[in-house]
Amino acid sequence: DQQVKQNSPSLSVQEGRISILNCDYTNSMFDYFLWYKKYPAEGPTFLISISSIKDKNEDGRFTVFLNKSAKHLSLHIVPSQPGDSAVYFCAASAANTGNQFYFGTGTSLTVIP
Amino acid sequence: GAGVSQSPSNKVTEKGKDVELRCDPISGHTALYWYRQSLGQGLEFLIYFQGNSAPDKSGLPSDRFSAERTGGSVSTLTIQRTQQEDSAVYLCASSLGGTNPDTQYFGPGTRLTVL
């Protein structure tokens, strides 16, 4: 049972444009969400997070939006750069599940120079 | 500072053999996680250690899989009688633990290939 879903396995964007990566979840108890970036042959690296008390968190070129009523979050990268090309995973956790995190299947982003 | 390290980076083994994968977490992190990523799949939770508490083994796919964490630091994931479907990248992560929210930091992974 996939509690966190990333329905787009891949995305291609022109350099300088906005990249929007989407993530949906089913468990309404999730209260903390994260995005990780993964390059080939490396482990995922933490990118940005958001708590359910917020609907937006921004860090430089990266902004995460949370829509709790729709159980949807998205990661915006603007402007996109070729170095952003990687697989992006969203993850979610709930206070009542301890620190168990549920990951999506990832979206492979390619930024075309 | 040093991040999470894993060894070996690659392991090729024959079906039926046992393998051990090692994880060294970030110093001071009390929580340690094992995940695996099969080809084309997301990260699958395997097991979670938090301090001296009993580990959460709910993600282990079969009794051929086990993990230990000695001295609250280094962890070893053991797969007995490996099968071809065990082929995957095994990822270890650590976090400060005991906080909410918490953030996990991943190692580079061990790519396991079972022939």
pLDDT > 70 in chain A, percent:
96
pLDDT at residue number A40: 86
HSE (CB half, 13 Å, CA atoms) of A62? Answer: 14
* Residue B59, SS3 per DSSP: coil
Share of chain B above pLDDT 70, in %: 96
Helix (H) or strand (E) holding B105: strand B105-106
Given a contact cutoff of 8 angstroms between Cβ atoms, the answer to whether B89 and B41 are in contact is no
User: Which pLDDT score is estimated for B11?
Assistant: 97
Q: Are A39 and B105 in contact, with CB atoms under 8 Å apart?
A: no
**A residues 34-93 lying closer than 8 A (beta carbon) to B:** 34, 36, 41-46, 49, 51, 89, 91, 93
Q: Which of A5-19, A94-108, B20-34, B83-97 has the lowest mean pLDDT?
A: A94-108
> Can you give the pLDDT at residue A33?
93
Cα B52 to Cα A113: distance, rounded to the nearest angstrom:
50
Q: Which token pair is B39?
A: 């080809």
Q: Do B56 and A95 touch (CB under 8 A)?
A: no
Average pLDDT of the segment spanning A15-23: 97
Mean pLDDT (whole number) for A42-71: 94
**Shortest CA distance from B44: residue in chain A:** A103
Condensed to tens digits (0 to 9), the pLDDT of residues B8-63 reads 999 999 999 999 999 999 998 999 999 999 887 778 889 999 888 888 888 899 99
Is the CB of A33 inside 8 Å of chain B's CB atoms?
no
Q: Map residue A97 onto helix, strand or coil.
A: helix
- Length, in residues, of chain A: 113
User: Are A46 and B105 a contacting pair at CB < 8 A?
Assistant: yes
Q: Which amino acid does the sequence have at A30? A: F
- Output the pLDDT for position A97: 64
A contacts of B56 (beta carbons < 8 Å) = 98, 100
Whether the pLDDT of residue A95 is over 70: the answer is: yes
Least confident of A93-97, B9-13, B20-24, B110-114: A93-97
Would you state the pLDDT for residue B1?
55
Mean per-residue pLDDT of chain A: 93
Query: Residue B61's closest CA among B84, B42, B79?
Result: B79
Question: From A108, which residue of chain B is nearest by alpha-carbon distance?
Answer: B40
**pLDDT value of residue B43:** 87
- Answer yes or no: are the C-beta atoms of B92 and B32 closer than 8 Å: yes
State whether the Cα torsion A50-A54-A60-A64 is positive or negative.
positive
Looking at residue A2, its pLDDT comes to 79
pLDDT tens-digit series, residues B66-87 = 999 988 799 999 999 999 999 9
